[in-house]
């Protein structure tokens, strides 16, 4: 007997997992649309046959037809149509590189549909023989941190950018690390984590790669072995690191769903102080830059990090204008300090997210940058001592932001609705305009009232919430 799973069954499984509505295929003309989507379980790839049914269904799922900006244009199907020989279960860095095409240097251009399941922990510092490398293994022979600190101490070098042999050796060291720990993803790819799946010590680079889906993965500690000293960054200078956990660049139709982003047992708060500034070894959790657009990030959990999400990397008016269209919904931002997100240029729809913000390191939640157009609706903010509603927006050179239906629970107070723009304008000048000039239309379902966000979203967001 032919055994098939209809689209209705897919919807039922995903409803049980508190997922978005059942995925639709890439939009088609009405006369071309199939009567019912089916999955023939006899035809699944050998790599899929040992997996739970729910994992197979999620692996073949596309983004729902109205689920945020990533549903625009052709929609986002990832590797849902992968042939049998392009379905892989990976358990190591070498496995992951092989599944993505076989050569990390060229995988970013491999547009073959690929469906990749991550099983267990994959470490970006894994060497060719399976042993783990450390920073010393990736360092150029001419670089040591001790030598770098001695050479560029502002008391000796002054407040000018580092140059000379040691800085050149640091740059070569960065090139070595990038070659090894930056894992390049090509177009038409789906990556799904099985229970407990973790990508640690690496950057998942989605660059010039349209139609990518990443779900149910914990991203842990994408550390930079060779941070750069920038003496003119701020009044006292800063250390800046290079590696994001997931970086989306020059790509369209990308769906990032139900992942957890954390620094694990290596938080920036545990790093030493050099030149009077924290030695920061982490950059962003999920950065969307360099003309990327049509991205949906849903039901993710960002935990205990400093810099979280940068949308647009430069204030320069140019190629980013009209790009950087991003939807963020039903995410949890927990114990994080800034860029939640910080936006330049893009039309960013920010709804039904849950924020738990506290600590001396907190700076702001939503960064209103140059020509940005953020629409923030029905988000819920829980604020620790010393943080108020007026601290949630930050003016990075923008002029307008729409905020509607948001609630805040400040320390020692009952939850209440809040006008975020009004709270900001009461304290700071110049005022922000409360109309960003557009209204979102691509949403997967009804927007929850903000008080319901607090009671539902934390239980649904993050890795290992899907039923496999």
Angle ∠(114,117,118) on CA atoms, nearest 5: 130
Specify the DSSP element, H or E, that contains 156: helix 154-157
Phi-psi domain of 114 (left: phi exceeds 0; alpha: psi -120 through 50; beta: other): beta
Helix and strand numbers (H, E) in the chain are 9, 34
Q: What residues contact 142, with CB distance under 8 A and at least 6 apart?
A: 165, 166, 168, 169, 172
Question: Rounded CA gap, 304 and 440, in Å?
Answer: 30
Pick the catalytic residue: 170, 258, 301, 339?
339
Question: Rounded CA gap, 412 and 406, in Å?
Answer: 18
Residue 272 DSSP SS3: coil
The verdict on whether 305 is a catalytic residue reads no
Q: What residues contact 100, with CB distance under 8 A and at least 6 apart?
A: 107, 110, 114, 116, 183, 184, 185, 186, 189
Positions annotated as catalytic residues are 339
């Amino acid at each position: 007997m032919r055994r098939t799973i209809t689209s209705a069954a897919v919807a039922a499984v995903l409803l049980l997992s508190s997922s978005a509505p059942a995925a639709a295929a890439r939009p088609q003309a009405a006369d071309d649309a199939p009567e019912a989507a089916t999955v023939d379980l006899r035809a699944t790839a050998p790599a899929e046959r040992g997996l739970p049914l729910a994992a197979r269904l999620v692996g073949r799922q596309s983004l729902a037809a109205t689920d945020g900006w990533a549903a625009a244009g052709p929609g986002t199907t990832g590797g849902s149509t992968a042939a049998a020989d392009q379905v892989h279960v990976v358990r190591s860095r070498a496995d992951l590189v092989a599944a993505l095409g076989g050569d990390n240097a060229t995988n970013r251009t491999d547009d073959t549909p690929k469906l990749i399941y991550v099983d267990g922990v994959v470490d970006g510092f894994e060497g060719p023989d399976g042993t783990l490398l450390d920073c010393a293994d990736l360092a150029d022979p001419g670089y040591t941190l001790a030598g770098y600190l001695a050479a560029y101490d502002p008391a000796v070098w002054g407040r000018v950018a580092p140059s000379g042999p040691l800085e050149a050796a640091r740059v070569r060291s960065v090139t070595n690390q990038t070659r090894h720990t930056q894992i390049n993803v090509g177009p038409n790819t789906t990556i799904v984590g099985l229970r407990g799946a973790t990508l640690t010590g690496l950057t998942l680079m989605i660059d010039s790669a349209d139609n990518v889906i990443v779900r149910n993965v914990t991203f842990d500690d994408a550390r930079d072995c060779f941070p750069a000293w920038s003496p003119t960054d701020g009044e006292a200078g800063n250390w800046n690191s290079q590696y994001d956990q997931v970086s989306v660049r020059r790509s369209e139709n990308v769906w990032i769903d139900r992942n957890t982003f954390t620094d694990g047992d290596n938080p920036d708060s545990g790093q030493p102080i050099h030149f009077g500034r924290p030695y920061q070894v982490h950059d962003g959790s999920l950065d969307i830059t360099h003309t990327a657009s049509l991205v949906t990030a849903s039901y993710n959990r960002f935990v205990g990090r400093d810099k979280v999400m940068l949308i647009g990397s430069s204030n320069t008016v140019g190629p980013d204008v009209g790009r950087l269209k991003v939807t963020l919904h039903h995410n949890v931002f927990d114990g994080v300090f800034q860029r939640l997100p910080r936006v330049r240029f893009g039309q960013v729809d920010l709804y039904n997210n849950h924020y738990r913000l506290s600590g001396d390191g907190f700076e702001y939640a939503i960064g209103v940058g140059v020509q940005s157009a953020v629409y923030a609706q029905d988000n819920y903010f829980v604020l620790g001592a010393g943080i108020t509603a007026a601290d949630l927006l930050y003016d990075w050179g923008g002029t307008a932001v729409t905020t509607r239906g948001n609630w805040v629970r400040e320390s020692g107070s009952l939850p209440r609705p809040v006008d975020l723009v009004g709270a900001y304008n009461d304290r700071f000048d110049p005022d922000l305009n409360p109309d960003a000039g557009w209204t979102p239309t691509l949403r997967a379902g009804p927007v929850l009232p903000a008080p319901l966000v607090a009671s539902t979203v934390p239980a649904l967001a993050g890795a290992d919430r899907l039923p496999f």
